[in-house]
Structure 1
Amino acid sequence: MRTLVIAFVVMLGFIACKKDIEYKSSFEKSNRSWKAFKASSNNNYRFVVSGTSWSSGSWTTTLKVQAGVAVERKFAYTIYAGVVMPPEGWTPAKQDEVLARINLTAAAFRQQTGKDISEYLSWTETGAMVGAHTDTPATPFLTLDQVYEKAKNDWLKKRSGTTTYFEAKNNGLISACGYVPDNCADDCFTGIGISLIEAL
């Protein structure tokens, strides 16, 4: 009986270890910073998620939260087809440059994508429309509460055959979190990269 009890305790310890996460102490410290920021900002903030792909270019998604509720999501390609978005946004001249790079007319682009190029390259959703754009690399709407939950329950889980990343360069808040399967060459990162977090 004593041997059975010891075996059971060892098994429970093994299961608990398997559920542990990478960067545990760094994550917990950052989570405490998040809770302090959430309280000091009254849960009103915006954050910018950056993304990149070898085939699509790069983009940002800006998410605005008021009292913990989604109120706005903005998306913009910062580079598309090798064309860099100017500081003032996608001007008609730059949109034409993109079309020339991909060898399409505006009408052909609309036929292929179902959107005008201006709406494809950047858009804003507010209120009940948040989350309306689909088939886009834009970050799905997540509050920072949900980001920390996903980090703990998915992105930082200990798993074999992957390399895990965690950084907290936004004044202690998450700036990068996720994992990449070993021996994967392109667009393999699962997680999030946050370039800015600020109170509103």
Structure 2
Amino acid sequence: MKKLYLIFVLPVAFMFVSCSADAMQSILDIEGEHGYDFRESRAAWKDLKKEHGNSYAYTILEQSFTGAGSETTIEVEEGKVKRRHYIAFIISDEDGSKSITDSYEEDTKKELGSHSLGAPPYTIDHLYSTCLSKYLTVNTDANEIFFETNEVGVMMLCGFVPIGCQDDCYRGIRISEFHWM
């Protein structure tokens, strides 16, 4: 009975693994306008961070169609998060100006991550792992997947939008600014 079970179950299991591997392969091949797919971007990132001493700053943008939003800037020195700065804002319908409604700055090891608002204090390496495990693995039949880099290959966007969703549907990473320190 055990042999019979293995004869029928194993081929079916291999079929599902093979299909999901093919689906994952096509997702990893998604390229943005700068021509980098996920694997190429991650490889470029590894080379660039060595070249620049693994010290950089980036800003995560969250913004609603209503005009409310926030920016969290993370500073990383030699591969360790050193600072996090957060501002919440509302964009005026009348003139497009930005009014700050809340802010904080964390610049000690004890303070880092102590506020609940804003993007968590993660390195870009962590964001690449999150991109692959959380956003590029969603059901492609139910979601449109996005992956984008800057001109040198650093990931700037990784996420998805459920098909048919109308407002504030994007789930994922959106880096609005990046620079080396």
TM-score past 0.5 threshold = yes
- Structure 1's unaligned 5+ residue stretches are 86-93, 96-116
Conserved? CA contact 1:49–1:193, under 8 Å: yes
Residue of structure 2 equivalent to 1:35: 46
Does residue 58 of structure 1 match 2:38? no
Residue of structure 2 equivalent to 1:144: 124
Conserved? CA contact 1:18–1:158, under 8 Å: no
Residue of structure 2 equivalent to 1:49: 60
Residue of structure 2 equivalent to 1:168: 149
How far apart are residue 41 of structure 1 and its match? 1.7
Out of 7, 11, 14, which is 1:12 matched to? 14
In 2, Cα distance between equivalents of 1:197 and 1:170:
11
In 1, Cα distance between equivalents of 2:18 and 2:179:
36
Judging changes above 3 Å, is the alpha-carbon distance between structure 1 residues 71 and 185 closer, same or farther for their aligned structure 2 residues?
Answer: same
How far apart are residue 164 of structure 1 and its match? 0.6
Give TM-score scaled by structure 2 length: 0.78
Q: Secondary structure of 2:59's match?
A: strand
Runs of 4+ in 1 over 2 A off after TM superposition: 4-14, 77-85
In 2, Cα distance between equivalents of 1:17 and 1:41:
39
How far apart are residue 80 of structure 1 and its match? 4.6
Residue of structure 2 equivalent to 1:89: none
How far apart are residue 79 of structure 1 and its match? 3.1
Q: What is the aligned residue count? A: 166
- Structure 2's unaligned 5+ residue stretches are 30-36
- Which protein is richer in helix relative to its size? 1
In 2, Cα distance between equivalents of 1:151 and 1:27:
9
- Which protein is richer in strand relative to its size? 2
1:157 is matched by which residue type in structure 2? T
Judging changes above 3 Å, is the alpha-carbon distance between structure 1 residues 149 and 9 closer, same or farther for their aligned structure 2 residues?
Answer: same
2:28 is matched by which residue type in structure 1? K
What are the equivalent positions in structure 2 for 1:100-179 lying under 5 Å apart? 120=102, 122-128=103-109, 129-134=111-116, 136=117, 138-159=118-139, 160-179=141-160
Task: Report % sequence identity.
Answer: 26
How far apart are residue 180 of structure 1 and its match? 1.0
Does residue 183 of structure 1 match 2:153? no
Instruction: Determine which structure has more spread, i.e. the larger CA radius of gyration.
Output: 1
Judging changes above 3 Å, is the alpha-carbon distance between structure 1 residues 71 and 22 closer, same or farther for their aligned structure 2 residues?
Answer: farther
Q: Secondary structure of 1:37's match?
A: helix
In 1, Cα distance between equivalents of 2:18 and 2:138:
11
In 2, Cα distance between equivalents of 1:179 and 1:140:
19
**Root mean square deviation of aligned Cα:** 2.7
